[in-house]
Every structure is written in C-alpha cells, then in structure tokens.
Amino acid sequence: MYWREWLKTMVWALIILGVLNMWVFNISTVKGQSMQPTLVQQERLFINKFIYKFHPPARGDVIILHDPVLSEQPTSKLLVKRVIAIGGDRIEIRNHEVYINQIKQQEPYIDTVIGDVDLAPIIVPEGQYYVMGDNRHQGMSKDSRIFGTISLKQIVGRADFIIWPLSKTALL
C-alpha cells in the first residue's frame, strides 16, 4: 500500500507543477546570439508568466515573446528581447544610438553601438511595445526594427533571472 500513497503523491505533484508551469512560471533556454552580452546560448531563464497580470511591461524588462513573424503557426518560436519603448514613446535610432522621447539612452547592457541603419522617429502606439535584442551588431537581432511593435498578448512573460549555469545565476 505504501507504493499507492507514493504514486498518488507523485501524480498530485505533477499536476500542480503542470498548472504552475502553464500559468505562473516557465523555464526557457536561450538560443541564438541576439541578447549577448546579457544572455548567452544555453543559459536557462526563469520566466514569470504571472507578472503582467498586475502591471504592464516597463522599459528595460527582458521578456519572452512569440515570434510575430511566425505567430500564425501553432507552435510559434519564442524570442527573448528587451523592452526599449512603451506606448506613447517616440523612438528613433540616430547616429547608431537609441533615443527615447529625444533623450539619448544609457544602455549599460550593450557592448557596441547599433550596427544597422538608423531609424526615423516613430511613436509607439498605446498598448504596444518596441523591443530589441542587446546584441546591436549588424543583423544580429530579429526585433521590432524588423517586425514592428508588439502587443501584450504576444508576450509570454518576463525573464526574471538566470538559473543555469549556477556560476551565472543572476537577476535580470
């Protein structure tokens, strides 16, 4: 009879973990180079899927989103990006640097100026977000410069911290 209790406990634990994974948190693996130097390939991230039920994404948040280019497919690829501008912001890329509301942004998380072409000023629509990868070398990030702004419904959650490898554990 001991094995029945053990089995019942394991089933309940799996059900609880499944529900938490579906609605509250997720673990995601970094693939690609678009967020270097902040995140590198194969790092594991703790994704808070619940946070945006209470408040909207903020500038600087590292988020996981469904790839807007592939969003028509049922198993859309996920991307990790940083929120650069929010609804109502005026964003432009001038002289290879980001300006929000005509103020040059200090971005300590990047290691180079933007290698791609400059971007004429645009106003981010209300309820939309402009996202970019931290890797600003030419052509290294598929982000809002390619697919435009995104909505909250495209965002899976906020990457709160690196959980693996243990030597790189850190808040984002």
pTM comes to 0.84
Per-residue confidence at 3, pLDDT binned at 50, 70, 90?
A: confident
74 CA to centre of own chain: 19
Tell me the pLDDT tens digit for each residue of 95-141: 999 999 999 999 999 988 888 888 899 999 999 999 999 999 988 88
Tell me the pLDDT tens digit for each residue of 34-44: 998 998 889 99
Closest by CA position to 130, among listed 94, 167, 89: 89
158 touches 57 (CB < 8 A): yes
Which domains does the chain carry? 2-171 (2.10.109.10)
Q: Which residue has the higher pLDDT, 24 or 5?
A: 5
Percentages of the chain per state (helix, strand, coil), in multiples of 5: 20, 35, 45
- Rounded to the nearest integer, the mean pLDDT of the chain is 86
User: How far is Cα 154 from Cα 131, in angstroms, rounded to an integer?
Assistant: 12
For residue 149, what pLDDT is reported?
A: 95
* Residues catalogued as catalytic: 34, 81
User: How far is Cα 43 from Cα 91, in angstroms, rounded to an integer?
Assistant: 30
Per-residue confidence at 69, pLDDT binned at 50, 70, 90?
A: confident
User: How far is Cα 155 from Cα 39, in angstroms, rounded to an integer?
Assistant: 18
Torsion of CA 97, 100, 105, 111, to 10 degrees: -50
For residue 73, what pLDDT is reported?
A: 57
Q: Is the pLDDT of residue 64 over 70?
A: yes
Q: Is the pLDDT of residue 77 over 90?
A: no
User: How far is Cα 140 from Cα 14, in angstroms, rounded to an integer?
Assistant: 39
